[in-house]
Structure 1
Amino acid sequence: MNWENTVAIITGAGTGIGKATKDLLRSKGCIVYNLDFTDNDETDQQYFISCDVRNRQQVNDAVDKVISAEKQIDFLFANAGIHLFATLEQTSDEELQRVVYTNLFGVYYTLQKVIPVMKAQQKGSVVLMGSDQSFIGKAASSVYGMTKGAIAQLAKSTTIDYAPFNIRVNCICPGTIDTPLLHNAVDRFSQLSNATKEEIYKSLDTIQPMGRIGKPEEIAKTVAFLLSDESSFTTGSLIAVDGGYVCQ
């Protein structure tokens, strides 16, 4: 696929999977706008827009800036999200709201703003950030898992509504990936248990059939495939990229 003269929006592209995807698409010639809290050493400030995805107005303003500058949006990777390692009883109302507003409302707001642009263009490709928890449940992950299950259904329903307009929507479902999100979760688990961080990381390796955790770059390659014309007949799919974890 020729990525030249195409325009992508990635939310939360300052670190982890979002950054890896941003770097990959830019290396292919795609214009990629990073909508994030902070610039996180963004190499091209021209394409950074400060945006809190929990705030609908900020999302609308950010997308309007992209439209004003580029007159098109070909791709959306709604990636921004946070994790919470906690049971129902351990979850405060503030934590509940923060996770739901970031992981679910943030995706919804972004999708709701970008879809009409793609509809007017009669084309577009979207990837939503799911999780292995879009398929399965995990201990002490009720709120996070709830949001990722909802994202999977949002992808499916949006697919049906907008397929007639040549818009594809897929959901990437990573497993355990070496990102700041994982490191924060490990820190919290270590604090809540008697396990050391070294023990936790070792156990994370062993529970994957492939014997290791994933790399952000591996997820980025799958996202790029799903966004591209190379997956032109793929839509409404939940794509597990997890070293075989959910197949067990």
Structure 2
Amino acid sequence: MTQDIILQTESLTRDFNGFRAVDSVSLSVRRGHIHAIIGPNGAGKTTFFNLLTNFIRPSAGKVMYEGVNITARSSADIANLGIVRSFQISAVFPHLTLLQNIRIALQKRAGKGLNFWSSKRILNQFDDQAMQILALVRLESLHDKLAVEIAYGQKRALELATTIALDPKLVLLDEPTQGMGHEDVEHIMELVRQVAQNRTVVMVEHNMKVVAGISDQITVLARGKELASGTYSDVSRNEAVIEAYMGRKRKRNIGTAHDNA
């Protein structure tokens, strides 16, 4: 493994009661890249994502991070190595303010844990940095709002802000634009670009506009297997990819043929 590769899987496989959801997938993610995982419904994308952070144990194969085998590590240990994952459902504290949500992430990063009972003086030391991060995602004017009170797209922006606060090396994003309108999608695309400026991003994404717009590399899964890898231009012209999306062989761009992966 070269120093350029931050994450690698080797023949990663997962079986469920005789059904092979992920079938010997070998993936290499380059440091500093945005790497998208796409594929038709039922392709095994989410299962593969779960294998990367040991939310599901593989039946075979291994996951390497920074040249170290992390396959048997707990999810908590993997997070402590600098890998942070977001979920399809927004994972923020709904009854805390936006400022408090970011402050908790900053506490975790500083090794203070989730000490909600810490003195106001101790907690307030994170406020300036938290406001800077909220400004980065254009939420500073809502800093005193409860997370439950803001719109869905703003919650996803808040989740990305907490990710930035944790300062991970590798960010795993699971459907970051799911359920969003056009304006929110554009905003999240820009935020993902910001998140990726000093770190690596791997994302499962269904919106082909997002994939084409911000991805450096794309891996296409179909029926649990890797169908193709390359740039958007490469995979969008691949006959096997077109057939997987369209159900027939036809020379069309997958981004215009089908908007869901």
Higher helix share: 1
TM-score by length of 2: 0.31
Please say which structure displays the higher CA radius of gyration. 2
TM-score by length of 1: 0.33
Higher strand share: 2
Whose relative contact order is higher, 1 or 2, with alpha carbons under 8 Å and at least 6 apart?
2
